[in-house]
Structures are given as structure tokens and as C-alpha cells.
Amino acid sequence: MTRFTPIVLFVVPCYNEEAVLDQSITTLLTELELLSEAGLCALEGSGVLLVDDGSRDATWQLIDRWSHRDSRVSGLRLSRNKGHQAALLAGLAAVVDCADASISIDADLQDDVSVCKEMLSFYRRGYDIVYGVRANRSTDSRSKRFFANSFYSLMLLMGVEIMPGHADFRLMSRGSLAELLRYKERSLFLRGMIPQVGYKTASVHYSRKIRESGVSKYPFRKSFSLAVDGVISLSYKPLRYIAYLGVLMALVSCLGMIAIMSNYLLGGTIHGWTSLMVVITVIGGVQLLALGVIGEYLARVYKEVKRRPLYHLQARTGSLFHAPSAGSGEGAWPHDDPPGPASHRLR
């Protein structure tokens, strides 16, 4: 199946990105022109949507300035910092009704924007989701490379369907994005949720660039938190492993009891202090670990049942929107049913 020439919108979450934003917007607009010349995207209607995730620097001022300078640039501003995944989701929800294909990419453009041509080639051939996958991690430090590889190995071990080497650089068709927006999770892990949609997928490989300016918005603490969200949100295997561990410790305890009773009946001396302390310490540690894992699941349940909005829109700017005035702040999931005309609808 060969599709028509699509309207393409880049969705770019931003947090304190004033150092790179001018260059990034220029690069994305240039890429849109190249894609249009190649017949892979429509010239009219395509553009860039930047989502300011409650930045503390001049990020929003730059977005607003660009939106008045170039009609292809639009912006959303969240009322406060809600995290990369929430900001990305806000942007995707905003473009679902006006873009035939959306491409999400981080503002630092470490992901190679030139492979968008290959992504759209797959889209034209009928693929609905195209993942951008890192060919290698040569630009990462040794420790970051180790933790990243361990993260993907852990996710696969826990039964989470995920594309190794893929973060949030991807193309999604309007139909697949509409289905994604039907998911109601508050603990967001988009790269694990999107494979659940089940549409036809492909992947393109690229070499990630070194960040030229600014600082990474994903230090170890945030990366670890995202990994925990991914495992807890998409897998119940940790709970099953706790059950397995309980059975194993029960068997070990039975064997230990048999050994102690046998030693006693044979007239041996029972030495207990050191071994008793070791057993108590090990069992106590395992119990606390198990309670911690169960507590994480309970915390996610607590978060889900409260149904609080995932984000609140403070302002919009750019020609994509009906009005540049402040958003209603409905946030969360703008549609209870598959997306149609709604408060976040664009032109």
C-alpha cells in the first residue's frame, strides 16, 4: 500500500533548552523543506510543535518568538514541570487530529533527524509506527552504556515488550496515535506502551550525536525512576518472583529444620548464635525488599485511582491553534474515546 503525501508534525518536548532551541528549530524546519522536496511530506500544514515542560529559563519566550516569526512553528506551555513523558504526550494529543504522521524527537537533536526521510519512506509503504533505534552507544560514557544495556536487559527479562536501543524518537501515524491515546495510565512509559498498540512497525538505525550545548535532562536518578515506572507499569513478574522467592526460602527453612533435628537426635551440639543472626538478617532483608516492591505496585494503584490530570496547559501559540489564548488546563487524556474534535484540536 502506497499512502498519499502526509502532513507531518515534529513534536518536541523542551525543558530548559534555550541554549539549543534556535539551532534545533532551524534544523527541523530545514529538514521539513528537504522532506517536502523529496515528496515525502506536504509543504502546507507540516510544521513543528514545541512543548515547554515548565522551563525556568527563556525556552517559552523563544518558542513564542519563533511562532510569530514562522507560521510552521507552534508551541504549548505546561503550567509546571510534569516530566518528559507527560510533555511528549501533551504534544502528541495536540497533533492527533491535524497530522497524518507525527515524529517525536528531543530538543537537543542528538537523534539524527536525517533518518526522518527513511521513516517517512516506511510510512508511505504502509507502516504505522517507525522506531528510531541507536546503532551503537559510542557517544555514551562507560557507566551510562552499562546502565542502559542493563535497563533493556531487565525490561526484557520482566516480559516488557520494548525495542532495545529505542527511546522516544519515532514516527506514528494518525491511526496508531489515536489508539495510543485511549490508554489511561498515569505512570507513563511510552516506549513500552506503544508496542501494545500492535500496528505495523518498522525501525531505522542511526548514530546518536554528542550534545553540543546544554545539559542532559535525564541524569541517573531520573533514568532509574523511568526504569522503575516501566517495570511496574507493564509487568507483574516482580510480584511472581517474590512468590517464587518465598517458596524457595520455605524449602530452605524446611531443609535447615531437618538438619537441626537430625543433628540433635544424633547427640550433636547445636551451635546457634551466628547462624541464627545470619538467617534473621537475610530473612529480614528479603522481607523488606518484598514489601518495597509491593509498595511500588500499591503506589501506582493509588496514583491510578485518583485519576489526576497528567498535565495542565497554560498557554498556546502559533498558527496551528484556533486561538493563541491560554489553554483550559484539562490536561490528562483529552479524549475518553478515540480522538475526534476536542478541546485540544488543532487547525
Please tell me which residue, 187 or 17, carries the higher pLDDT value: 17
Residues 170-198 have a mean pLDDT of: 89
Q: How many CB atoms lie within 10 A of CB 242?
A: 17
C-alpha cell at 174: 494518525
* pTM as predicted: 0.74
Does the structure show a pLDDT above 60 at 195? yes
Predicted pLDDT of residue 285? 79
**Could you tell me which of 25, 70, 60, 98 has the C-alpha nearest to residue 326?**
60
Model confidence band, residue 332 (pLDDT cutoffs 50, 70, 90): very low
Predicted pLDDT of residue 122? 94
Q: What residue ranges do the domains of the chain occupy? A: 8-142+164-219+310-317, 237-306
Tens digit of pLDDT for each residue in 7-39?
Answer: 999 999 999 999 899 999 999 999 999 999 999
| 168 touches 104 (CB < 8 A) | yes
Tens digit of pLDDT for each residue in 141-156?
Answer: 676 677 777 777 777 7
Tens digit of pLDDT for each residue in 217-269?
Answer: 555 666 677 777 777 777 777 887 888 888 887 787 777 777 777 776 777 66
289's CB contacts (< 8 A; 6+ apart) are none
Alpha-carbon span 230 to 196, nearest angstrom = 13
99's CB contacts (< 8 A; 6+ apart) are 6, 7, 8, 9, 174
Model confidence band, residue 131 (pLDDT cutoffs 50, 70, 90): very high
Model confidence band, residue 272 (pLDDT cutoffs 50, 70, 90): low
User: In CATH terms, is domain 8-142+164-219+310-317 a member of 3.90.550.10?
Assistant: yes
Q: How many CB atoms lie within 10 A of CB 71?
A: 11
| 118 touches 110 (CB < 8 A) | no
Please tell me which residue, 60 or 346, carries the higher pLDDT value: 60
214's CB contacts (< 8 A; 6+ apart) are 16, 17, 19, 20, 108
Predicted pLDDT of residue 334? 38
Does the structure show a pLDDT above 90 at 53? yes
Please state, for a pLDDT cut of 70, what percent of the chain lies above it.
82
Residues 195-214 have a mean pLDDT of: 82
Burial grade of 239 (CB within 10 A; 0-12, 13-18, 19 or more) = middle
Lowest mean pLDDT among 181-185, 258-262, 313-317: 258-262
Predicted pLDDT of residue 246? 81
CA 287 remoteness from chain centre: 31
